[in-house]
A and B are shown apart, each in its own frame.
Chain A
Amino acid sequence: MQPRFLTVQQRVAETADVVTLTLDNAPPGQAPPGFRPGQFNMLYCFGIGEIPVSISSDATCPERLDHTIRAVGTVSRALTRLEPGDRVGVRGPFGNHWPLAAAVDLDVLVMASGIGLVPLRPVLYHLLHERADYGRVALLYGARTPANLLFQPEIEQWRRTPGLDLRVTMSRAGPEWPGDVGYVTAQLPKIRCDPAATLAMVCGPEPMIRSSAVALEALGIGAERIFVSLERNMKCALGLCGRCQLGPLFICRDGPVFSWRQVQHLLPVREL
């Protein structure tokens, strides 16, 4: 399966090592291919390689595809160096999506840590577009330091958005940070929700995912209403290369979004 090539429209440096690329996904005279919040694309840099990257933009505007990329390896470094006008190979979208329909009429808790906010940003857009469909909505977002905060203008906007309980916390911060310091799970007791009618969506580093899911269960939210998005090495994104397995699951095909019930016995197993 060959990539199709899209043009970089905009490049925003979110932090020192995170860049959001906006790709022009509007083929002339055709409807742009859509995506669902939580899905990912395989992004290809000519001759360098291909990696899975979550789509971070608003699913109601598929003609502009945002991918927010942290420079951690050969391909991600090359992608973050692209400039407007450059071309990016795209295959996708792949994978399943966050259970937004199942969350209707429920309180919704979105928990993100670090780059884990990226696949959840389309969820926030959706929840705010369809605000009346949901109960209380909270975003708990943790970053390492204030310098690692993603989507800062948007975060400021969300801070002032009625109907969104936004809690931002830093795991390390000096006096320049006026807000809370600590792990994102420490914010949970401050959130008002009805645990029997709450759906949670969690993404971040795996230790954060595990501790968040455990904390959410302790609040009384059932494992079948806690959803997490996982990451593994993948090459094909079609369920054929075998690399993204976690026990019986292929992350690319069966995920990347799983209920905690599906993975709670797998994730704690070391090096599975």
Chain B
Amino acid sequence: MAQVQGVALNDNQDPDTRRLVITRDGLAVLLNALRRHGYRLIGPRLGDGAIQFTDIDGVDDLPQGWTAVQEAGHYRLQRRADAALFGYAVGPHSLKRYLHPPRLRLWRMHRDAMQGCSSDSGADPGGDPGGDAETSDRDPQTTAPAGPFAFVGVRPCELRALAIQDRVLLGGQQIDPHYQARRAGCFIVAVACGSPGGTCFCQSMQAGPGLRDGFDLGLTELDTDPTDPPQGQRLLLAIGSARGRALLTEIPHRPATAAEIAQGERVVARAADAMGRHLDGDGLRERLLAVLEHPYWDQVGARCLGCTNCTLVCPTCFCTSVEDHTDLTGQYAERTRRWDSCFTGDFSYIHGGSVRQHRAARYRQWLLHKLATWHDQFGSPGCVGCGRCITWCPVGIDLSAEAAALAAAAASQPGLPTAPPADPSPAPTSAPQPAAMPARRHE
């Protein structure tokens, strides 16, 4: 499916379909302007042998001229022949590191507060019952203040992940106020993907490589010509929101030529052809639900180390645990929320043991959630095709290959049962029909 960058617009009543061009210097001005407006700049930067998504000061921090070679269980930085600013696919970090932080203190209270308050008021000694006042707005690991964030170099797969996280954490009856607070007011400078990695399949998930919506400003980096001056990068710019347009008044720019627009389309079309992986999503939910007890899961389980890397790098995995503890005096108690993973034994522990004892069951939970039951819960797959889980799996388990193998297993079953279409609205009625696999029992 061919996509054009920035066609549909975000929060804009008056779509601005102009195509503009900015240079590297223009981008520098843009990033400085964002900082001047009080945003905390988060963007790609070299660190620890990877292109990380982290705090940046400006355009000089971008990994210009670098790319990353990605394969199953493999990630290596490599010099590019050109000086592209955004010539790489996503690294290990996603926006959830900032919007749904790995560790977050939810509240803290003194022992006396437990005695003092009446039965329906909050327990917070000084804050409000909602807990927001006592909520740590600092990531305990980084101590850096939270937002408002300006995210720079956000890929289309990441935008899709953001839309999914919004549905999960803000779209239901109960919302996550911490995510909401961090999400509000984010400024997003997105970049269409020109150099997909070996594990990318956003094309299959209809998430990329072109930009559609969900950004304030959308960039497409045009190929540099060897004859161009060293600082001669040109970026096509699309306006995705009124905020984006307002900021543009501070940025030197010019209208794009027809040739530049065509060049931008070629960049995206070339990326679409260069996807390292493919996932056939057609009927995948129904097929996976039909093979819940297929021996293939044991085969994957035997390879899986249960290390949780896939869930940590996944931009949509949202599961958390909480830890309650006191300080050394025993007078203060606090609750910390941290990322959790369905690959740990603790995750499904109830008295008597874990529900999912084997790694095969844990892998099944994860894959099934991403590609099947997410539809029932949230109306879309939970996978955006970013390929991180494949790249960062230490043994190279490949979601796209495992899904294909399981789909093939389902297809080879006599009388493939069809699960009813997913209907995310009234969850209790959306349960799929019985699978035809012989049901094994515990007893």
**A245-272 near B? 1/0 per residue, CB < 8 Å:** 1011110011000110111111011111
Q: How far is the CA of A262 from the CA of B173 in the complex (A)?
A: 21
Partner among A44, A243, A254, A272 whose Cβ is within 8 Å of the Cβ of B427: A254
Among the listed stretches B17-25, B90-98, B190-198, B431-439, which one makes contact with chain A, having 4 or more residues with CB under 8 Å of it? B431-439
Is A268 a contact of B440 with CB atoms below 8 Å?
Answer: yes
Bound Cα distance A6, B114 (Å): 9
Q: A234 to chain B: closest CB distance in Å?
A: 9
Contact across chains for A24 and B173 when beta carbons are under 8 A apart: no
Q: Roughly how many angstroms separate A236 CA and B349 CA in the complex, as a whole number?
A: 15
Encoded as 1 (CB less than 8 Å from any B CB) or 0, chain A from 3 to 29 comes to 111110000000000000000111110
Within 8 A of B (CB), among A33-65: 33, 44, 46-50
Number of interface residues of A (CB under 8 A): 63
**A239 within 8 A of partner (CB):** yes
B319 CB–A CB distance under 8 Å: yes
Bound Cα distance from A4 to B129, whole angstroms: 9
| C-alpha gap A218/B330 in the complex (Å) | 55
A111 CA / B358 CA spacing, docked (Å): 31
**At the interface, yes or no: A162 with Cβ under 8 Å from chain B?**
no
Contact A2 B320 (CB under 8 A): no
Q: Is A210 an interface residue (CB 8 A)?
A: yes
Is A206 among interface residues, defined by CB-CB distance under 8 A? Answer: yes
Find out whether the CB atom of B292 lies under 8 angstroms from the CB atom of A262: no
Q: Distance in Å from the Cβ of A131 to the closest Cβ of chain B?
A: 29
Contact indicator per residue, chain B 107-131, by CB within 8 Å of chain A (1) or not (0): 1010101110111111110000111
By the criterion CB–CB under 8 Å, are B330 and A47 in contact?
yes
> Which among A48, A70, A241, A270 is the interface contact of B442 at CB below 8 angstroms?
A270
- Within the complex, the shortest CB–CB distance from B415 to chain A, in Å, comes to 16
Q: Once the chains are docked, how many angstroms separate the CA of A248 from the CA of B318?
A: 15
Decide if B123 touches A235 in the complex (CB within 8 Å): no
CB-based contact B173/A239 at 8 Å:
yes
Decide: B174 and A4 in contact? CB cutoff 8 A. Answer: no
Bound Cα distance A30, B342 (Å): 42
Q: Is the interface of A mostly helix, strand, loop or mixed?
A: loop
Does chain B have a CB within 8 A of A233? yes
Given contacts A27-B118, A239-B172, A247-B431, is CB(A270)–CB(B322) below 8 Å? no
Report the minimal beta-carbon distance from B398 to chain A, rounded to whole angstroms: 23
Q: Which residue of A lies closest to B177 (CB)?
A: A1
Tell me the complex Cα distance, A258–B429, Å: 10
Tell whether B357 is near chain A: CB-to-CB under 8 Å. yes
Q: Beyond A241-B319, A245-B365, is A233–B355 a contact (Cβ under 8 Å)?
A: yes
Q: Which residues of B contact A238 (CB under 8 A)?
A: 174
Of all chain A residues, the one with the shortest Cβ separation from B438 is: A268
A196 at the interface (CB under 8 A from B): no
Residue among B292, B319, B347 making CB contact with A269, cutoff 8 Å: B292
Partner-binding segment picked from B50-58, B154-162, B369-377, B383-391: B369-377
The answer to whether A33 and B120 have CB atoms under 8 Å apart is yes
**B-contact bits for A121-138, CB 8 A (1 contact / 0 none):** 000000000000000000
User: Are B114 and A265 closer than 8 Å at their CB atoms?
Assistant: no
Asked if B123 contacts A262 (CB within 8 A), the reply is no
In the assembled complex, the Cα of A210 lies from the Cα of B439 at a distance in Å of 12
Q: Chain A residues with Cβ under 8 A from B106's Cβ?
A: 2
Q: Quick one: given A27-B118, A46-B114, A248-B432, are A2 and B173 in contact (CB under 8 Å)?
A: no
A5 cross-chain contacts in B, Cβ below 8 A: 113-115, 117, 119, 123
Interface residues in B392-443 by Cβ distance below 8 A to A read 422, 427-435, 439-443
**Shortest Cβ distance from A118 into chain B, in angstroms?**
13
Chain A residue nearest to B115 (CB atoms) is A87
A269 and B293 in contact (CB under 8 A), knowing A4-B123, A5-B114, A233-B355?
Answer: yes
Chain A 207-246 interface mask (CB, 8 Å, partner B; 1/0): 1001100000000000000000001110110111111010
Residue A155 is within 8 A (CB to CB) of chain B in the complex = no
Interface presence of B351 (CB below 8 A): yes
B324 contacts A by Cβ under 8 Å: yes
Name the B residues within 8 Å of A147 (CB-CB): none
Binding site for A on B (CB under 8 A): 106-107, 109, 111, 113-115, 117-124, 129-131, 134, 168-169, 172-174, 176, 292-293, 318-322, 324-326, 330, 333, 335, 340, 342, 347-352, 355-358, 361, 364-365, 368-369, 373, 376-377, 422, 427-435, 439-443
A-B contact sample (10 more), CB < 8 A, given A250-B427, A268-B440: A5-B123, A96-B428, A233-B347, A235-B320, A242-B318, A243-B319, A265-B433, A265-B435, A270-B440, A272-B355
Supply 22 A–B pairs (Cβ within 8 Å), ascending by A. Answer: A2-B107, A5-B113, A5-B123, A6-B119, A27-B120, A46-B114, A50-B324, A72-B351, A233-B347, A233-B349, A240-B168, A241-B322, A248-B377, A248-B432, A253-B174, A253-B427, A261-B431, A265-B433, A265-B439, A269-B435, A272-B292, A272-B364
